[in-house]
């Protein structure tokens, strides 16, 4: 198979030939038709995460092996099924979105279909080759979800940005529809979060970003209020409180950097919850007495499980989720798209389109 792979971290992707995998057991081989380009791909490409005063966390130390075809937002057409994947509701020629956040497949967590929490992750596009290639190997037929009636380019985004924000939203619910939910970041994740909140019937949605153009997109997507973030965290907190009519019950930080975590924390009301999603990096310093005095909750949220992907696709099939802006580019443009994303030049999502589309 052909792949557009990270051969050396921080260097341009290279178009290389890799062995086309042969499906075994319940595995399924697909020809990639669509692959979303996600902000977390930047961290994989760069090879590390910023841990603030604790230094850097290098992905090679976590088991990432190069060369690697990134891409975890994948839609593909089934070309071959392993012997144990036969007669399981999927056949050759079917178009499916691929759940990428797979684990060992054997532990109690994986058996509950919560593989994103497995202690031995094998995620596609991270620890195994993903969608920046002509073919991808799904580790189990149960990880394929039918997308009939949904635009495949949009469906690809649900495998990461979709279930990531859906899972984070589930962590702050239930809330009254007019209880403000603050979304920090109005990129692909932020717009997806606005869309899904709208689909769930939520009305009070406040988007925060440093880019006025992205805030305009959030407003067009359905956000009820927007706040332009500044270098002055206190001013940003004040802007959130003013836009929402007071301190808030829920903030979902889709950036999750040192500065955003600070102004997000300060915007919470008593009993409020901050859900941290993004991987921008840095560290968080909080006044500890305020945690019990204000009964606050800070919770991390890592992507989502396959049950959430199935539920989200079901909502999408009903036509309830407003489509986010999606731009398509050929697979060979993967490196150029990554650089545009790094430079903040993308609104919504860019999806790479393969020859099989």
Q: How many residues does the chain have?
A: 357
Give residue 240's pLDDT. Answer: 98
Pairing relationship of beta strands 248-253 and 268-276 according to DSSP bridges: parallel
Are the CB atoms for 302 and 73 separated by under 8 Å? no
Give residue 50's pLDDT. Answer: 87
Average pLDDT over residues 135-145: 98
* Cα–Cα distance for residue pair 113/109, rounded to 1 Å: 7
* Cα–Cα distance for residue pair 355/357, rounded to 1 Å: 6
For all residues of the chain together, what is the average pLDDT? 96
* Cα–Cα distance for residue pair 257/248, rounded to 1 Å: 19
Flag whether pLDDT at 93 surpasses 90. Answer: yes
* Cα–Cα distance for residue pair 296/274, rounded to 1 Å: 8
Which band of pLDDT confidence, cut at 50, 70 and 90, is reported for residue 83? very high
Structure confidence by residue, pLDDT tens digits, 212-242: 999 999 999 999 999 999 999 999 999 999 9
Which band of pLDDT confidence, cut at 50, 70 and 90, is reported for residue 197? very high
* Cα–Cα distance for residue pair 215/233, rounded to 1 Å: 18
Which band of pLDDT confidence, cut at 50, 70 and 90, is reported for residue 189? very high
Are the CB atoms for 294 and 270 separated by under 8 Å? yes
Flag whether pLDDT at 175 surpasses 90. Answer: yes
Give residue 173's pLDDT. Answer: 96
Flag whether pLDDT at 140 surpasses 90. Answer: yes
Structure confidence by residue, pLDDT tens digits, 21-78: 999 999 999 999 999 999 899 999 998 888 888 898 888 888 899 999 999 999 999 9
Flag whether pLDDT at 284 surpasses 90. Answer: yes
Q: Which of 337, 309, 303 is nearest to 70 (CA)?
A: 337
Domains and CATH numbers, the chain: 2-160+304-353 (3.90.180.10), 161-300 (3.40.50.720)
Average pLDDT over residues 88-105: 97
């Amino acid at each position: 198979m052909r792949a557009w792979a990270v051969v050396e971290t921080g260097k341009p992707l290279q178009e290389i030939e890799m062995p086309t995998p042969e499906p075994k057991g319940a595995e399924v081989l697909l020809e990639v038709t669509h692959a979303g380009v996600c902000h977390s791909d930047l961290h994989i490409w760069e090879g590390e995460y910023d841990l603030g005063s604790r230094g850097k966390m290098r992905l090679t130390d976590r088991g990432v092996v190069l060369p690697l075809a990134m891409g975890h937002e994948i839609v593909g057409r089934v070309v071959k099924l392993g012997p144990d994947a036969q007669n399981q509701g999927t056949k050759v020629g079917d178009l499916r979105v691929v759940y990428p956040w797979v684990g060992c497949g054997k532990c109690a967590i994986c058996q509950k279909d919560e593989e994103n929490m497995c202690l031995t992750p094998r995620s596609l596009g991270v620890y195994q080759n993903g969608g920046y290639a002509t073919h991808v190997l799904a580790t189990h037929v149960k990880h394929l979800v039918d997308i009939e009636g949904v635009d495949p380019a949009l469906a690809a985004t649900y495998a990461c940005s979709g279930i990531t924000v859906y899972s984070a939203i589930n962590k702050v619910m239930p809330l009254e529809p007019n209880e403000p939910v603050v979304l920090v970041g109005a990129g692909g994740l932020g717009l997806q979060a606005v869309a899904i909140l709208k689909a769930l019937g939520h009305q009070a949605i406040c988007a925060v970003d440093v880019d006025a153009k992205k805030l305009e997109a959030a407003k067009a997507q359905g956000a009820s209020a927007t706040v332009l973030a500044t270098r002055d965290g206190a001013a940003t907190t004040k802007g959130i409180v003013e836009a929402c009519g007071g301190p808030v019950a829920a903030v979902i930080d889709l950036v999750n950097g040192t500065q955003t975590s600070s102004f997000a924390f300060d915007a919470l009301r008593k009993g409020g919850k901050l859900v941290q999603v993004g991987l921008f990096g840095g560290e968080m310093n909080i006044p500890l007495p305020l945690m019990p005095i204000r009964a606050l909750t800070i919770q991390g949220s890592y992507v989502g499980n396959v049950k959430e992907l199935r539920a989200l696709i079901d909502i999408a099939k009903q036509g309830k989720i407003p489509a986010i802006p999606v731009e398509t580019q050929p697979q060979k443009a993967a490196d150029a798209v990554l650089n545009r994303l790094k430079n903040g030049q993308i609104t919504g999502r860019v999806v790479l389109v393969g020859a099989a589309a």
